[in-house]
Amino acid sequence: MGPALLLLGVFTFYPVVYGAALSLFDYDVISPPRFVGLAHFRALWADRYLWLALGNSLKFLLVVPVLQILSIGLAVSVNAPLRGIRWFRAAYYVPVITSMVVAGLVWRWLYEQDGLLNYLLTRAGVLTRPIAWLGQPDLALYAVMFVTLWKGLGYYMVIYLAGLQSIPPECEEAAVTDGATRWQVFRHVTLPLLRPSILLASTISAIAALKVFEEVYVMTGGGPMFRTYTMFYYIFDKGFQQLDLGYAAALAVVLAAATLVLSAVNFRIFRQGGWTYY
């Protein structure tokens, strides 16, 4: 375990400790660090941009349950022993290996007022006139959410597919023998046995939702009117554009604390049996 621990220590544990310590200093790269104690954390309470960014990041958590439901359904559909099913699995996984920068640029073009999405929707009669999806304050965040959902679907499908293939077939066969329908087998046998996969996928997706950055940076830049201004983007803005590294570190500590709380809730619900399937 030595090499793995060394890598974690250098690239994970040391940055975490250094970032937490940096939150106690006022540092702009140019001047020497100046100790300010908890001044940054006291300033956070009056920072309207913090609450705006935190609210947008929490809204992003709406992606998590939708992503889990669709991923489970997709995993069940590609788990069937059909001819050519491996090609379908590979096709669903293509967005995962696509660079987020490339995907963001493509989707930004699709969302343009004269883009392909508006063209298809207007031709189908769904829209009467084109919409600037990324320019509408009420729609921009949800448009970015959809890209996150589209890109992560194949990744979580693989997690659930591995979970489905690890379930002993005797369990489902016994339920069918006892007269259970396909829905009853899925609800009372398959889903409970998928609980470890659900715990893993929900925790990872929730953390990823709180840390979303690339989509926002490429597609909207935090706009319009700060409606896609997430916590990670605010940290980037403060640290690397305004060079207020101490305050950015304090924001990162807040985000880390929120992530830990959310992960603990996930573990309590799915690992200790707080959520049932009945």
Instruction: Tell me the per-residue pLDDT of 136-175, one tens digit each, with 9 for 90 and over.
Output: 999 999 999 999 999 999 999 999 999 999 999 898 889 9
241 within a domain of the structure (yes/no): yes
Whether the per-residue pLDDT at 274 is higher than 90: the answer is no
Check if the beta carbon of residue 236 is closer than 8 Å to that of residue 229.
no
219 within a domain of the structure (yes/no): yes
Averaged pLDDT score across all residues of the chain: 91
Q: What is the CA radius of gyration of the chain?
A: 22
From its phi and psi, is residue 221 left (phi > 0), alpha (psi between -120 and 50) or beta?
Answer: left
Whether the per-residue pLDDT at 273 is higher than 70: the answer is no
What pLDDT is recorded for position 147?
95
Mean pLDDT highest for which of 81-90, 120-129, 265-274? 120-129
49 within a domain of the structure (yes/no): yes
Provide mean pLDDT across the span 30-40. 93
**Residue 196 token pair:** 């470890």
Bridge partners, 26 (sequence order) = 34
Give the count of domains, the chain: 1
Whether the per-residue pLDDT at 112 is higher than 50: the answer is yes
Domain assignment of residue 233, given as a range: 2-271
The DSSP secondary structure of 216-260, one letter per residue, reads HHHHTTT-STTTT--HHHHHHIIIIIS--HHHHHHHHHHHHHHHH
277 within a domain of the structure (yes/no): no
Query: pLDDT band for position 272 (50/70/90)?
Result: low
107 within a domain of the structure (yes/no): yes
State the residue for tokens 């621990």: 5
Element (H, E) at 34: strand 34-35
Whether the per-residue pLDDT at 271 is higher than 80: the answer is no
Spell out the residues 6+ positions from residue 240 whose beta carbon is closer than 8 angstroms to its own.
Answer: 248
Looking up residue 25, the CATH number of its domain turns out to be: 1.10.3720.10
